[in-house]
A and B are shown apart, each in its own frame.
Chain A
């Protein structure tokens, strides 16, 4: 019997004080159940990640298993990442122009657009696109394999499902998300520059000159470094949801949706904490430069 059933089994309250105690116990039970579910879910993902990690270090998957995953994650994601990157760059130019023009700082637009892209929007955009296009597809594919016993079939034939199914997908995401981030960054920079220079009439020389002074190598590194964590989270959450999929079409659909939603939330949360950590590391390594800023 679950905790909720225990509560249901209690006699219904009569007086006000009874009703309040009943509501309190009921609320505490719900909070407890949610907490237990959350801890169980985190533990399950942690065990899943550890098992995948141990298989990743044991031996690499074969070329014929790796390449289709690299193709799916890298080549098939390229157009959508490039397209969204271009438009985000242009949107940034549109939204920032009036504010900067009001202060007479429109030539600084390039710097603001490009630093935003390389440190934040490029990696987050590539991660979001990958979570939507690849993470949910992984959950749906592995979920279907789970409900049609294909994962059991793999195990019964002495092939480890973590090694055969999860490790190639994790490697594909880890290796290719930095490349996709570079594409999103580049196309965003091009899109922003095109709109600023051609449509808003900002001087080309000053636009690029300011961009150069705003964006450093560490900013580029920050974006690419964060993207590695996003890629790992997308692959692990997508595969985990697929492996723990409920039976039936509804279960597969739910697993795909959860894979995207969980990945997106984790990307945003990690973006904040990694951003803070990387700024602190910068301050520690180059304290005099951060003091100037």
Chain B
């Protein structure tokens, strides 16, 4: 008997390897994300968190392995089918990646204008609703991204990602560069979005507060340069509350934010 589609993981990553020239970033990553889950991918800078997320949406091509989204291998899709699948995702970029030449209203309306047959009035209504959802007033509609603060830009980025009501939302370092209060606002928005919509979320972060607050499950990646050839790159995969009791010292070290042996390496000049 075949497995019903809803029981399959929405995102299924098998043996994913990604390499840029001679630099291998991801090695044999296996990861399954069921529908409705909020997964936090943590790890130190340069361990491949963002590359993993970009591989999921087909922005980075794998060297080996595959990423299946809803049963379809993303790397095998043609341009049209890939576009159709990408519309099911919302991507909140680290620096928001708002289009400089457009106003806030045009940025949030962009996916709608590209993919929906809605009238200008309907689009305007959705834009206002999405901005209200992330707590932004209509007075910023005509502002350019350069006129906004970092927190506002991230929220406009989230409003844009929500505009097509995606099934999956990918957050790349959503709280990086923000003050603690604005970071918490963003965390709350991630939780509120998850609670109000049937979305699957993947949050890439190195902020443990974000990971423990928003995620149902945490996956910790480790830089390949610090691993032996046969060690798995995923050091931890489980609920956030069990991270502290992990038997791997590197997980607890990251969790506590302790430099430990790394400081000695830096002092000895071994780390660049």
Contact = CB atoms under 8 A, between A and B. Distances in A.
A150 B59 CA distance: 12
Contacts of A149: 93-95, 97
Contacts of B98: 150, 153
A236 B157 CA distance: 30
Given A157-B111, A158-B114, A152 B83 contact: no
A8 B97 CA distance: 42
A196 B62 CA distance: 66
B20 interface: no
A153 B79 contact: no
Interface stretch (B84-92, B130-138, B198-206, B254-262): B84-92
Contacts of B110: 157, 159
Nearest to B79: A160
Size bracket, chain B contacts = 20 to 34
B209 to A, nearest CB: 24
B140 to A, nearest CB: 19
B220 interface: no
Contacts of A158: 83-84, 86-87, 111, 114-115
Given A157-B114, A159-B114, A160-B79, A152 B86 contact: no
Contact of B97 (A1, A148, A159, A160): A148
A280 interface: no
A1 B79 CA distance: 35
Point out which of B22, B59, B94 has the most chain A C-beta atoms below 10 A from its C-beta. B59
Contact of A148 (B58, B95, B115): B95
Contacts of A155: 58-59, 86
Contact of B83 (A1, A150, A160): A160
Interface string A126-144: 0000000000000000001
Interface residues of A, number: 14
Given A156-B89, A160-B79, A150 B114 contact: no
Contacts of B100: 144-145, 148, 150
B99 A150 contact: yes
Contacts of A152: 54, 59, 91, 93, 97
Contacts of B95: 148-149
Contacts of B86: 155-158
Nearest to B112: A157
Contacts of B87: 157-158
Nearest to B91: A156
A94 B87 CA distance: 62
Interface string B108-135: 0011001100000000000000000000
A195 to B, nearest CB: 42
A152 B99 CA distance: 11
Interface string B68-108: 00000000000100011011010101110111100000000
B93 A153 contact: yes
A232 B95 CA distance: 33
A156 B57 contact: yes
Interface of B: 22, 54, 57-59, 79, 83-84, 86-87, 89, 91, 93-95, 97-100, 110-111, 114-115, 160, 164
Closest 8 CB pairs of A and B: A153-B97, A156-B91, A149-B97, A158-B83, A158-B86, A158-B87, A157-B111, A149-B93
